């Protein structure tokens, strides 16, 4: 589904017709109403959408499912990938040019200290010797054809190194404006060699939307057919300073020497809309956090069979704070749930375990459980010296993890909320 088609499915869309600049204006417009999807119709002649997947409801409305069905469907998709389907005339190939000028695309500069204009909703599809990877990478515009790309040492980096050792550049296609199934699949941490596009396809199937359709680019890469923009190019041996740039916590990340992508060809759909994810905004949180929840859920359920749900909370950037809902079979299950949650999401720093009667999507209910069911001397788990998230500015090389057991003690007491 193109961005324009997705917009039709969403409930809360604000359209801004007034002309706007790429530097500064976009961020202010997105911050004004973080829960509304913002469609900017004239950003120096281009169209931008932001806050597109900044609520769980937007994601699940677009996929045509209920809010609490997503986690289960994502688990299914990770376990049982589904083939993608090739189409002959993909939407992204409406216009193709080798006369690439990245500076003319509606790519915003989000904050004044940023190293440049940044692509933040670009998923990078790379392939080397039959192995494909799909993942998010932030990319800074250097000039008309070059981007500095942040490559954390994971799968794209591994493929890049293999290509380098063979004396080649790594072929990539950067896709902007793809359906939430592709975005969520690109943000999963599956094993090396597992194909994220097939996970996206499986997620669509699980949601009753049919398999993912893909088109084939000039260099033979398969990319989502409905992407608004596809930038085809190569990760090269050249490097450049990447950053500064704002990370998920809303604080600045370091400048690093990173590889340079050269873009050789650009495709766009008939009326493309450029998708921009605001760094440190709700959409950034959800796209990073939602794909971690199924893995956390699976790990906690191994320890506590009656695990009902897990959530990474927006207040903790959907990364550092989690809530787990269980029904205890025996005393101590809640402590095991805490330990399993830390295993399932190693970046997790604080976790609260609650009973089934607490709605974990309501932060006030979770706090109420802490207020009425938690005693620090018996219910607190503190793990100093653990490896945590590099994104937490308060952590040194190691972090202290804290679990709060806010479940009712077995054996009764006045722990239930009065209901009318
Ligand atoms: Mn991968």
Where helices occur in 64-170 by DSSP H, the ranges are 70-79, 155-165
Residue entry with tokens 């976790």:
351
Gap from CA of 191 to ligand 1 centroid (Å) = 6
Final residue belonging to a domain, choices 227, 257, 278 = 278
Share of the chain above pLDDT 90, in %: 89
Confidence of residue 413 (pLDDT cuts 50, 70, 90): confident
If you average pLDDT over every residue of the chain, what do you get?
Answer: 95
Over range 211-227, report the average pLDDT: 98
In the predicted structure, residue 24 carries a pLDDT above the cut 90: no
Q: Do 349 and 396 fall into the same domain?
A: yes
pLDDT confidence of residue 316: 96
Domain count, the chain: 2
Gap from CA of 137 to ligand 1 centroid (Å) = 12
Gap from CA of 31 to ligand 1 centroid (Å) = 31
Confidence of residue 265 (pLDDT cuts 50, 70, 90): very high
Confidence of residue 420 (pLDDT cuts 50, 70, 90): confident
Q: Determine, yes or no, domain membership for 372.
A: yes
Q: Do 124 and 250 fall into the same domain?
A: yes
pLDDT confidence of residue 411: 75
Share of the chain above pLDDT 70, in %: 100
pLDDT confidence of residue 397: 86
SS3 377: helix
Over range 70-75, report the average pLDDT: 95
Over range 240-259, report the average pLDDT: 93
**CB contact at 8 A, 125 and 197:** yes
Tens-digit pLDDT profile for residues 320-370: 999 999 999 999 999 999 999 999 999 999 999 999 999 999 999 999 999
pLDDT confidence of residue 377: 97
Over range 226-242, report the average pLDDT: 98
Residues near 90 by Cβ (< 8 Å), separated by ≥ 6?
213, 214, 215, 223, 225, 226
Phi, psi of 148 (to 5 degrees): -90, 125
Domain of 247 in residue numbering reads as 69-278
Gap from CA of 125 to ligand 1 centroid (Å) = 10
Catalytic residues: 247
Over range 270-294, report the average pLDDT: 96
CATH number of the domain residue 116 falls in: 2.30.110.10
Q: Determine, yes or no, domain membership for 163.
A: yes
Gap from CA of 201 to ligand 1 centroid (Å) = 15
**CB contact at 8 A, 45 and 19:** no
322 prior amide bond cis, ω within 30:
no
Q: Is 16 exposed, middle or buried (0-12, 13-18, 19+ CB in 10 A)?
A: middle
């Amino acid at each position: 589904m193109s961005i324009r088609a997705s917009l039709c499915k969403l409930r809360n869309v604000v359209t801004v017709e007034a002309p706007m600049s790429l530097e500064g204006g976009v961020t202010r417009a997105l911050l004004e109403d973080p829960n509304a999807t913002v469609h900017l119709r004239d950003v120096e002649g281009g169209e931008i959408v932001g806050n597109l997947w900044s609520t769980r409801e937007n994601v699940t409305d677009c996929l045509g499912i209920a809010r609490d069905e997503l986690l289960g469907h994502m688990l299914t998709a990770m376990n049982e990938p589904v083939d993608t389907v090739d189409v002959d005339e993909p939407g992204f190939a409406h216009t193709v040019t080798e006369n690439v000028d990245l500076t003319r695309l509606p790519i915003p500069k989000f904050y004044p200290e940023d190293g440049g204009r940044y692509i933040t909703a670009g998923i990078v599809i790379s392939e080397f010797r039959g192995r494909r990877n799909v993942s998010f990478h932030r990319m800074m515009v250097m000039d008309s054809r070059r981007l500095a790309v942040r490559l954390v040492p994971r799968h794209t980096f591994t493929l890049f190194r293999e290509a380098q050792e063979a004396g080649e550049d790594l072929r990539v296609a950067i896709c902007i404006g793809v359906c939430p199934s592709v975005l969520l699949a690109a943000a999963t941490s599956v094993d090396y060699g597992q194909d994220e596009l097939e996970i996206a396809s499986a997620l669509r199937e699980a949601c009753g939307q049919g398999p993912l359709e893909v088109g084939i680019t000039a260099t033979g890469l398969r990319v989502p057919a409905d992407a608004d923009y596809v930038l085809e190019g190569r990760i090269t041996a050249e490097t450049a300073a990447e950053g500064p740039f704002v990370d998920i916590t809303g604080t600045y990340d370091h400048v690093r020497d990173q590889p340079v992508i050269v873009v050789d060809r650009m495709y766009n759909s008939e009326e493309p809309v450029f998708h921009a994810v605001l760094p440190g905004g709700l959409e950034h949180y959800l796209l990073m956090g939602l794909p971690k929840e199924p893995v956390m859920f699976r790990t906690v359920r191994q320890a506590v069979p009656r695990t009902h749900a897990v959530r990474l909370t927006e207040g903790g950037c959907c990364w550092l704070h989690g809530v787990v809902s269980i029904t205890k079979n025996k005393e101590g299950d809640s402590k095991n749930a805490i330990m399993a949650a830390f295993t399932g999401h190693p970046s997790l720093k604080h976790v609260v375990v609650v009973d089934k009667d607490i709605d974990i999507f309501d932060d006030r209910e979770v706090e109420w459980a802490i207020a009425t069911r938690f005693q620090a001397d018996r219910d607190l788990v503190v793990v100093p010296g653990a490896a945590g998230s590099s994104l937490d500015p308060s952590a040194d090389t190691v972090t202290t993890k804290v679990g709060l057991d806010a479940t009712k003690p077995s054996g009764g007491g006045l722990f239930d909320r009065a209901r009318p």
